[in-house]
Structure 1
Protein backbone atom coordinates (compact mmCIF):
# COMPACT_ATOMS: atom_id res chain seq x y z
CA UNK A 1 0.00 0.00 0.00
CA UNK A 2 1.59 3.34 -0.99
CA UNK A 3 2.38 5.89 1.70
CA UNK A 4 -0.24 8.57 2.08
CA UNK A 5 0.87 11.71 3.92
CA UNK A 6 -1.37 12.70 6.79
CA UNK A 7 -4.09 15.22 6.07
CA UNK A 8 -3.50 18.80 7.17
CA UNK A 9 -3.12 18.79 10.94
CA UNK A 10 -5.53 21.68 11.40
CA UNK A 11 -8.39 19.45 10.26
CA UNK A 12 -7.55 16.77 12.84
CA UNK A 13 -8.24 16.53 16.55
CA UNK A 14 -5.33 15.65 18.84
CA UNK A 15 -6.99 12.27 19.31
CA UNK A 16 -6.93 11.73 15.53
CA UNK A 17 -3.27 12.74 15.44
CA UNK A 18 -2.44 10.34 18.30
CA UNK A 19 -4.11 7.54 16.32
CA UNK A 20 -2.03 8.39 13.25
CA UNK A 21 1.15 8.45 15.36
CA UNK A 22 0.32 4.97 16.69
CA UNK A 23 -0.13 3.69 13.13
CA UNK A 24 3.31 4.83 11.97
CA UNK A 25 5.33 1.67 11.50
CA UNK A 26 9.07 2.08 11.22
CA UNK A 27 11.62 -0.60 10.33
CA UNK A 28 13.60 -1.95 13.33
CA UNK A 29 16.87 -0.31 12.22
CA UNK A 30 18.28 -0.47 15.76
CA UNK A 31 18.16 -4.30 15.57
CA UNK A 32 20.06 -4.57 12.30
CA UNK A 33 23.83 -5.09 12.26
CA UNK A 34 24.82 -5.37 8.60
CA UNK A 35 28.38 -6.30 7.71
CA UNK A 36 28.52 -4.27 4.49
CA UNK A 37 29.28 -0.60 5.18
CA UNK A 38 30.04 2.42 3.06
CA UNK A 39 29.17 6.04 2.32
CA UNK A 40 25.75 6.98 0.97
CA UNK A 41 27.17 10.19 -0.54
CA UNK A 42 24.09 11.83 0.96
CA UNK A 43 23.68 14.87 3.20
CA UNK A 44 20.81 16.35 5.17
CA UNK A 45 21.10 20.15 5.27
CA UNK A 46 20.16 22.20 8.34
CA UNK A 47 16.94 23.28 6.57
CA UNK A 48 15.87 19.62 6.23
CA UNK A 49 16.77 19.31 2.54
CA UNK A 50 18.22 15.98 1.42
CA UNK A 51 21.04 15.81 -1.15
CA UNK A 52 22.79 13.00 -3.03
CA UNK A 53 26.20 13.77 -4.53
CA UNK A 54 25.39 17.47 -4.10
CA UNK A 55 22.07 17.37 -5.98
CA UNK A 56 18.76 17.83 -4.12
CA UNK A 57 16.52 14.81 -3.73
CA UNK A 58 13.31 16.34 -5.04
CA UNK A 59 10.92 13.41 -4.62
CA UNK A 60 9.24 13.64 -1.19
CA UNK A 61 8.45 9.90 -1.25
CA UNK A 62 12.18 9.12 -1.55
CA UNK A 63 13.01 11.39 1.38
CA UNK A 64 10.25 9.79 3.48
CA UNK A 65 11.51 6.30 2.63
CA UNK A 66 15.15 7.14 3.42
CA UNK A 67 14.13 8.88 6.66
CA UNK A 68 12.64 5.63 7.99
CA UNK A 69 16.04 3.93 7.57
CA UNK A 70 17.94 6.64 9.44
CA UNK A 71 19.76 5.70 12.64
CA UNK A 72 21.97 7.59 15.10
CA UNK A 73 25.13 5.64 15.88
CA UNK A 74 26.74 5.42 19.33
CA UNK A 75 29.54 7.76 18.21
CA UNK A 76 26.96 10.44 17.26
CA UNK A 77 27.20 9.88 13.52
CA UNK A 78 24.23 9.01 11.31
CA UNK A 79 23.65 6.06 8.99
CA UNK A 80 21.05 4.69 6.61
CA UNK A 81 20.56 1.07 7.65
CA UNK A 82 19.00 -1.99 6.01
CA UNK A 83 19.45 -5.62 7.08
CA UNK A 84 22.25 -5.92 4.50
CA UNK A 85 23.99 -2.55 4.42
CA UNK A 86 24.88 0.46 6.56
CA UNK A 87 25.80 3.67 4.75
CA UNK A 88 27.07 6.83 6.44
CA UNK A 89 25.06 10.00 5.84
CA UNK A 90 26.21 13.54 6.69
CA UNK A 91 23.80 15.63 8.77
CA UNK A 92 24.49 19.37 9.14
CA UNK A 93 22.49 19.79 12.37
CA UNK A 94 19.64 17.34 12.95
CA UNK A 95 17.83 15.22 10.35
CA UNK A 96 14.30 16.59 10.71
CA UNK A 97 12.44 19.91 10.84
CA UNK A 98 9.14 20.30 12.71
CA UNK A 99 7.16 22.35 10.18
CA UNK A 100 3.70 22.35 11.74
CA UNK A 101 2.22 22.15 15.24
CA UNK A 102 -1.21 21.56 16.71
CA UNK A 103 -2.17 22.23 20.31
CA UNK A 104 -5.14 21.49 22.49
CA UNK A 105 -5.76 22.53 26.08
CA UNK A 106 -3.81 25.03 28.16
CA UNK A 107 -1.33 24.91 31.01
CA UNK A 108 -0.74 21.42 32.44
CA UNK A 109 -3.57 20.06 30.25
CA UNK A 110 -1.90 21.11 26.98
CA UNK A 111 -1.11 18.52 24.32
CA UNK A 112 1.23 19.31 21.43
CA UNK A 113 1.65 17.42 18.16
CA UNK A 114 4.20 18.19 15.43
CA UNK A 115 4.39 17.31 11.74
CA UNK A 116 7.90 16.87 10.39
CA UNK A 117 9.19 17.80 6.95
CA UNK A 118 8.92 14.06 6.16
CA UNK A 119 5.17 14.13 7.05
CA UNK A 120 5.77 11.95 10.12
CA UNK A 121 3.90 12.98 13.27
CA UNK A 122 5.37 13.27 16.77
CA UNK A 123 3.64 14.03 20.07
CA UNK A 124 5.75 16.05 22.54
CA UNK A 125 5.78 13.97 25.72
CA UNK A 126 8.17 12.33 28.17
CA UNK A 127 9.48 9.97 25.49
CA UNK A 128 9.70 12.76 22.89
CA UNK A 129 10.89 15.79 24.87
CA UNK A 130 11.37 19.35 23.71
CA UNK A 131 14.73 20.89 24.57
CA UNK A 132 15.79 24.50 24.45
CA UNK A 133 19.60 24.80 24.37
CA UNK A 134 21.08 28.00 25.76
CA UNK A 135 24.17 29.94 24.82
CA UNK A 136 23.33 30.61 21.19
CA UNK A 137 22.51 33.95 19.57
CA UNK A 138 19.11 32.73 18.36
CA UNK A 139 17.05 30.13 20.19
CA UNK A 140 17.06 26.79 18.43
CA UNK A 141 14.53 24.43 20.05
CA UNK A 142 14.55 20.71 19.31
CA UNK A 143 12.10 17.81 19.57
CA UNK A 144 13.20 14.22 20.09
CA UNK A 145 11.76 12.15 17.25
CA UNK A 146 13.09 8.67 18.01
CA UNK A 147 16.21 6.87 19.28
CA UNK A 148 18.63 9.83 19.27
CA UNK A 149 17.12 11.54 16.22
CA UNK A 150 15.80 15.07 16.61
CA UNK A 151 13.88 17.73 14.72
CA UNK A 152 14.61 21.42 14.94
CA UNK A 153 11.45 23.51 15.26
CA UNK A 154 10.98 25.75 12.24
CA UNK A 155 11.05 29.41 13.28
CA UNK A 156 7.27 30.02 12.83
CA UNK A 157 6.51 26.87 14.86
CA UNK A 158 8.84 28.01 17.64
CA UNK A 159 7.29 31.49 17.71
CA UNK A 160 3.82 29.98 18.05
CA UNK A 161 5.07 27.72 20.85
CA UNK A 162 6.68 30.69 22.64
CA UNK A 163 3.42 32.68 22.36
CA UNK A 164 1.56 29.79 24.00
CA UNK A 165 4.11 29.68 26.81
CA UNK A 166 3.76 33.44 27.33
CA UNK A 167 -0.03 33.10 27.47
CA UNK A 168 0.26 30.27 30.04
CA UNK A 169 2.56 32.56 32.10
CA UNK A 170 4.08 29.69 34.11
CA UNK A 171 6.89 29.95 36.61
CA UNK A 172 9.43 28.72 35.66
CA UNK A 173 8.84 29.78 32.08
CA UNK A 174 7.94 26.81 29.92
CA UNK A 175 5.19 24.71 28.41
CA UNK A 176 3.38 21.48 29.19
CA UNK A 177 2.57 18.70 26.75
CA UNK A 178 1.04 15.31 27.48
CA UNK A 179 1.75 15.61 31.21
CA UNK A 180 5.41 16.65 30.86
CA UNK A 181 6.76 20.14 31.58
CA UNK A 182 9.47 21.56 29.30
CA UNK A 183 11.33 24.56 30.71
CA UNK A 184 12.21 27.31 28.26
CA UNK A 185 15.27 29.25 29.34
CA UNK A 186 14.56 32.92 28.81
CA UNK A 187 18.29 33.61 28.42
CA UNK A 188 20.58 36.05 30.27
Structure 2
Protein backbone atom coordinates (compact mmCIF):
# COMPACT_ATOMS: atom_id res chain seq x y z
CA UNK A 1 0.00 0.00 0.00
CA UNK A 2 1.43 3.42 -0.90
CA UNK A 3 2.16 6.17 1.57
CA UNK A 4 1.04 9.60 0.45
CA UNK A 5 2.45 11.68 3.28
CA UNK A 6 6.14 10.81 3.21
CA UNK A 7 8.42 12.13 5.92
CA UNK A 8 11.43 12.91 3.69
CA UNK A 9 11.45 13.86 0.02
CA UNK A 10 13.91 11.06 -0.67
CA UNK A 11 14.19 7.39 0.11
CA UNK A 12 17.94 7.21 -0.33
CA UNK A 13 19.58 5.83 2.77
CA UNK A 14 16.47 4.03 4.03
CA UNK A 15 16.45 0.26 4.17
CA UNK A 16 13.75 -1.59 2.23
CA UNK A 17 12.35 -2.77 5.56
CA UNK A 18 11.95 0.86 6.67
CA UNK A 19 10.35 1.77 3.34
CA UNK A 20 7.99 -1.23 3.53
CA UNK A 21 6.95 -0.23 7.05
CA UNK A 22 6.35 3.37 5.97
CA UNK A 23 4.20 2.13 3.07
CA UNK A 24 2.29 -0.26 5.36
CA UNK A 25 1.61 2.57 7.82
CA UNK A 26 0.21 4.83 5.09
CA UNK A 27 -3.44 5.72 5.38
CA UNK A 28 -5.44 6.69 2.33
CA UNK A 29 -9.09 7.70 2.09
CA UNK A 30 -11.31 4.73 1.12
CA UNK A 31 -12.15 6.19 -2.32
CA UNK A 32 -13.08 2.76 -3.67
CA UNK A 33 -15.99 2.64 -1.18
CA UNK A 34 -17.42 6.06 -2.05
CA UNK A 35 -20.11 6.22 -4.73
CA UNK A 36 -21.52 9.77 -4.94
CA UNK A 37 -23.27 11.17 -8.00
CA UNK A 38 -21.04 12.58 -10.74
CA UNK A 39 -21.10 16.35 -10.32
CA UNK A 40 -19.24 17.47 -13.47
CA UNK A 41 -15.72 18.38 -14.46
CA UNK A 42 -13.06 19.55 -12.01
CA UNK A 43 -11.34 21.80 -14.55
CA UNK A 44 -8.16 19.94 -13.63
CA UNK A 45 -5.63 18.07 -15.76
CA UNK A 46 -2.55 15.97 -15.02
CA UNK A 47 -0.06 16.51 -17.83
CA UNK A 48 2.14 13.74 -19.20
CA UNK A 49 5.09 15.21 -17.26
CA UNK A 50 3.20 14.82 -13.94
CA UNK A 51 2.36 18.53 -13.53
CA UNK A 52 -1.14 19.17 -12.16
CA UNK A 53 -3.11 22.04 -13.74
CA UNK A 54 -6.35 23.82 -12.83
CA UNK A 55 -8.18 25.88 -15.45
CA UNK A 56 -5.00 26.41 -17.47
CA UNK A 57 -2.68 27.30 -14.57
CA UNK A 58 -0.18 24.94 -12.91
CA UNK A 59 -0.87 23.99 -9.31
CA UNK A 60 2.35 25.05 -7.61
CA UNK A 61 1.66 23.94 -4.04
CA UNK A 62 3.03 20.42 -3.59
CA UNK A 63 0.88 19.86 -0.47
CA UNK A 64 -2.29 20.63 -2.45
CA UNK A 65 -1.28 18.23 -5.24
CA UNK A 66 -0.58 15.53 -2.65
CA UNK A 67 -3.99 16.11 -1.11
CA UNK A 68 -5.77 15.85 -4.48
CA UNK A 69 -3.77 12.71 -5.30
CA UNK A 70 -5.21 10.93 -2.26
CA UNK A 71 -8.78 11.27 -3.61
CA UNK A 72 -7.91 10.33 -7.19
CA UNK A 73 -9.58 7.20 -8.51
CA UNK A 74 -9.63 5.34 -11.82
CA UNK A 75 -13.10 4.38 -12.98
CA UNK A 76 -14.05 1.07 -14.66
CA UNK A 77 -14.32 2.89 -18.02
CA UNK A 78 -10.66 4.02 -17.70
CA UNK A 79 -11.47 7.64 -16.84
CA UNK A 80 -10.20 9.39 -13.73
CA UNK A 81 -12.14 11.23 -11.04
CA UNK A 82 -11.55 13.13 -7.83
CA UNK A 83 -13.97 11.64 -5.33
CA UNK A 84 -15.21 12.44 -1.83
CA UNK A 85 -18.15 10.93 0.05
CA UNK A 86 -20.45 13.61 -1.44
CA UNK A 87 -19.13 14.45 -4.93
CA UNK A 88 -17.28 13.04 -7.92
CA UNK A 89 -15.56 15.26 -10.49
CA UNK A 90 -13.80 14.24 -13.71
CA UNK A 91 -10.09 14.99 -14.11
CA UNK A 92 -8.16 14.68 -17.37
CA UNK A 93 -5.02 12.52 -17.25
CA UNK A 94 -2.77 12.72 -20.31
CA UNK A 95 -0.74 9.57 -19.56
CA UNK A 96 -0.25 8.17 -16.07
CA UNK A 97 -1.34 10.26 -13.08
CA UNK A 98 2.02 9.85 -11.29
CA UNK A 99 5.74 9.74 -12.12
CA UNK A 100 8.14 7.34 -10.36
CA UNK A 101 11.02 9.72 -9.63
CA UNK A 102 13.27 7.69 -7.33
CA UNK A 103 14.17 4.04 -6.83
CA UNK A 104 16.05 1.99 -4.24
CA UNK A 105 17.09 -1.65 -4.66
CA UNK A 106 17.95 -4.22 -2.00
CA UNK A 107 19.15 -7.78 -2.57
CA UNK A 108 19.93 -9.62 -5.79
CA UNK A 109 18.23 -12.02 -8.17
CA UNK A 110 14.98 -13.50 -6.90
CA UNK A 111 15.60 -11.98 -3.45
CA UNK A 112 15.66 -8.41 -4.81
CA UNK A 113 13.11 -5.79 -3.72
CA UNK A 114 12.61 -2.51 -5.56
CA UNK A 115 11.08 0.53 -3.84
CA UNK A 116 9.91 3.64 -5.67
CA UNK A 117 8.88 7.15 -4.68
CA UNK A 118 6.42 9.04 -6.88
CA UNK A 119 6.27 12.75 -7.59
CA UNK A 120 3.35 13.04 -5.12
CA UNK A 121 5.11 11.13 -2.34
CA UNK A 122 3.69 7.61 -2.70
CA UNK A 123 6.13 4.90 -1.62
CA UNK A 124 5.63 1.63 -3.51
CA UNK A 125 7.46 -1.69 -3.46
CA UNK A 126 7.08 -3.43 -6.83
CA UNK A 127 5.63 -6.91 -6.53
CA UNK A 128 2.81 -9.18 -7.68
CA UNK A 129 0.11 -6.59 -6.85
CA UNK A 130 2.20 -3.60 -7.95
CA UNK A 131 3.77 -4.70 -11.23
CA UNK A 132 6.31 -2.98 -13.44
CA UNK A 133 5.24 -3.17 -17.08
CA UNK A 134 6.45 -1.96 -20.46
CA UNK A 135 3.46 -0.64 -22.42
CA UNK A 136 2.66 1.35 -25.52
CA UNK A 137 -0.14 3.75 -24.66
CA UNK A 138 -0.11 5.43 -28.04
CA UNK A 139 3.25 7.21 -27.81
CA UNK A 140 5.84 4.43 -27.84
CA UNK A 141 6.83 1.86 -25.25
CA UNK A 142 7.38 3.20 -21.74
CA UNK A 143 7.77 1.64 -18.28
CA UNK A 144 4.92 1.95 -15.78
CA UNK A 145 4.51 0.98 -12.13
CA UNK A 146 1.14 0.18 -10.56
CA UNK A 147 0.73 2.43 -7.53
CA UNK A 148 -2.77 1.65 -6.26
CA UNK A 149 -6.30 0.91 -7.44
CA UNK A 150 -5.61 1.03 -11.17
CA UNK A 151 -3.47 4.17 -10.86
CA UNK A 152 -0.03 3.96 -12.47
CA UNK A 153 3.18 5.93 -12.39
CA UNK A 154 5.27 6.49 -15.50
CA UNK A 155 8.82 5.50 -14.56
CA UNK A 156 11.03 8.56 -15.13
CA UNK A 157 13.83 8.07 -17.64
CA UNK A 158 16.70 8.31 -15.08
CA UNK A 159 14.95 5.73 -12.88
CA UNK A 160 14.44 3.43 -15.87
CA UNK A 161 18.16 3.71 -16.68
CA UNK A 162 18.95 2.65 -13.10
CA UNK A 163 16.65 -0.36 -13.52
CA UNK A 164 18.20 -1.24 -16.88
CA UNK A 165 21.73 -1.09 -15.45
CA UNK A 166 20.72 -3.42 -12.61
CA UNK A 167 19.00 -5.79 -15.05
CA UNK A 168 22.07 -6.06 -17.28
CA UNK A 169 23.98 -7.57 -14.35
CA UNK A 170 21.28 -10.17 -13.66
CA UNK A 171 20.54 -13.49 -15.31
CA UNK A 172 17.65 -13.43 -17.80
CA UNK A 173 14.23 -14.20 -16.34
CA UNK A 174 12.15 -17.36 -16.68
CA UNK A 175 11.06 -16.37 -20.20
CA UNK A 176 14.61 -15.46 -21.30
CA UNK A 177 14.01 -11.71 -21.24
CA UNK A 178 16.11 -9.10 -19.46
CA UNK A 179 14.46 -7.80 -16.31
CA UNK A 180 14.44 -7.74 -12.53
CA UNK A 181 12.79 -9.56 -9.65
CA UNK A 182 11.04 -7.64 -6.90
CA UNK A 183 9.12 -9.04 -3.95
CA UNK A 184 8.99 -12.50 -5.55
CA UNK A 185 7.81 -11.45 -9.04
CA UNK A 186 9.85 -11.10 -12.24
CA UNK A 187 9.36 -8.00 -14.38
CA UNK A 188 10.72 -7.98 -17.92
CA UNK A 189 12.21 -4.68 -19.03
CA UNK A 190 11.97 -5.53 -22.71
CA UNK A 191 9.00 -6.43 -24.91
CA UNK A 192 7.89 -10.02 -25.45
CA UNK A 193 10.03 -11.63 -28.14
CA UNK A 194 8.04 -12.52 -31.23
CA UNK A 195 8.18 -16.11 -32.34
CA UNK A 196 9.90 -16.67 -35.65
CA UNK A 197 8.42 -18.60 -38.58
CA UNK A 198 7.78 -22.28 -37.90
Same fold (TM over 0.5): yes
Q: Is the 8 A contact 1:112 1:178 kept in 2?
A: yes
2:128 is aligned with 1:126: yes
Segments of structure 1 that go 5 or more residues without pairing to the other structure are none
Partners in 1 of 2:140 and 2:71 — Cα distance? Answer: 31
Give 1:134 shift. Answer: 5.4
Of 79, 83, 86, which aligns to 2:85?
A: 83
Task: Give the C-alpha shift of residue 169 in structure 1.
Answer: 3.2
How big is the shift at 1:163? 0.7
Contact 2:5 2:122 in 1 (8 A): no
Matching residue within 154, 169, 178 for 1:173: 178
Give the Cα–Cα distance (whole angstroms) in 2 for the partners of residues 186 and 79 of structure 1: 31
1:42 aligns with one of 25, 32, 44: 44
Larger deviation: 99-108 or 170-179? 170-179
Q: CA deviation at 1:23?
A: 1.1
TM-score normalised to structure 2 length: 0.88
Task: Call closer, same or farther: CA 1:63–1:106 in 2, change over 3 Å.
Answer: same
Q: TM-score, normalised by structure 1?
A: 0.93
Whole-angstrom CA distance in 2 between matches of 1:26 and 1:39? 23
Counterpart Cα distance in 2 of 1:137 and 1:167? 29
1:143 & 1:120 partners in 2: Cα distance?
12
Go from structure 1 to structure 2 and tell me whether the alpha carbon gap of 1:134 and 1:58 turns closer, same or farther (over 3 Å shift).
closer
1:107: Cα distance to partner? 0.9
Aligned residues: 186
Q: Would you say the 8 A contact 1:173–1:186 is kept in 2?
A: no
**Paired position in structure 1 for 2:163:** 161
RMSD of the alignment, in Å? 1.8
Instruction: List aligned pairs for 1:15-54, cutoff 5 A.
Output: 15-54=17-56
Tell me the distance in 2 between the aligned counterparts of 1:89 and 1:96: 13
Kept after mapping to 2: 8 A contact 1:36/1:84: no
Secondary structure class of the residue paired with 1:141: strand
